[in-house]
Amino acid sequence: MSDTLQENFHQHVRDLQDQITREIRLLDPKVTLKEDVWDRVDHAGHPGGGGRTRAFQEGSIFENAGVNTSCVFGKIDPAFASKLQGEGDTMDDFRHFHGVWQKAAGDHYSAMKKECDEYFVNFHRGHEMRGIGGIFFDGHNTGDLQKDFAMVKSLSENFIQSYFPLVEKRFDESYTAEDEEFQLHRRGRYVEFNLLHDRGTLFGLKTNGRVDSILISLPARCKFTYQYAPKAGSPHEKMMAYYRPQNWV
């Protein structure tokens, strides 16, 4: 990847980080923000990029959240490199993007949805999905960097519209103790996936990443109960059926 294209992309995600930050603060003025700018060294001890971490806490809507950017490059441990997609031990074009909910991606949608459905899965829980899916792609490369950059930029610009209207619609709804119990257990499933299966988490921890930034998406509160199951006939039991591949559009 050319230095110019890399910097253009990095600037785009920094701008997107600023936009998401503004949306969070507009919805939740009470939320506190801590920002850290950090650097890393690569496997050979040379400069390897860094990032900007923004941690949101103690809001009236957002209990905790993270909006991070990073640009990492350089040498990685060859033993670890052999486990990753791609070739070689230099990953200056490595990017990891979070999928957006139910986002139409044109001709790519079906393939990206399928990849999401098959990746964000707690295989140890009988192939139960971490959530209700979206789109996901990893190592996407058509050979045309300008075209790929335009696609990724276009997709990322839809995140705010895909998420924040749902927050505005639902944040002041009433809920029961049973609702919160279900939420905390679903957060626990999220923790299980991120710590056991997520390649992005593994990549960060294996490449001298900043641990607190890597784990910032973990919830402030979650719950594990031996053989937990929602009450029979409850809306929460119905929700469990949605954590399998579905045709949502």
Determine the distance from the C-alpha atom of residue 19 to the mean position of all C-alpha atoms in its chain, rounded to a whole number: 17
Of the listed ranges 52-61, 81-90, 181-190, 214-223, the least confidently predicted one is 81-90
pLDDT of residue 123: 95
- Say yes or no to pLDDT of 59 above 50: yes
pLDDT of residue 97: 28
pLDDT mean across residues, the chain = 83
Which 3 state secondary structure label does DSSP give 39? strand
- Assign 104 a pLDDT band (cuts: 50, 70, 90): low
Mean pLDDT over 100-111 rounds to: 69
Residue of 59, 55, 53 whose CA lies nearest to 31? 59
* Phi, then psi, of 38 in degrees rounded to 5: -135, 160
Condensed to tens digits (0 to 9), the pLDDT of residues 125-145 reads 999 999 888 888 887 888 888
pLDDT of residue 87: 47
Q: How far is CA 176 from CA 23, 131, 180, in A?
A: 27, 21, 7
DSSP letter assigned to residue 98: P
Condensed to tens digits (0 to 9), the pLDDT of residues 13-55 reads 899 999 999 999 999 999 999 998 878 777 677 777 788 899 9
One DSSP character per residue, 134-183 reads ----SS---S-HHHHHHHHHHHHTTHHHHHHHHHHHHTT----HHHHHHH
pLDDT of residue 222: 96
- Assign 82 a pLDDT band (cuts: 50, 70, 90): low
- CB contact at 8 A, 68 and 17: yes
- Which domains are delineated in the chain? 3-240 (3.40.1500.10)
- Assign 92 a pLDDT band (cuts: 50, 70, 90): very low
- Assign 81 a pLDDT band (cuts: 50, 70, 90): low
- Assign 95 a pLDDT band (cuts: 50, 70, 90): very low
pLDDT of residue 78: 67
Determine the distance from the C-alpha atom of residue 55 to the mean position of all C-alpha atoms in its chain, rounded to a whole number: 14
- Say yes or no to pLDDT of 114 above 70: yes
CA distance 26 to 165: 12
pLDDT of residue 131: 86
- Assign 89 a pLDDT band (cuts: 50, 70, 90): very low
Residue with tokens 């490059």: 73
Mean pLDDT over 218-231 rounds to: 94
Mean pLDDT over 97-116 rounds to: 69
More confident residue, 141 or 104: 141
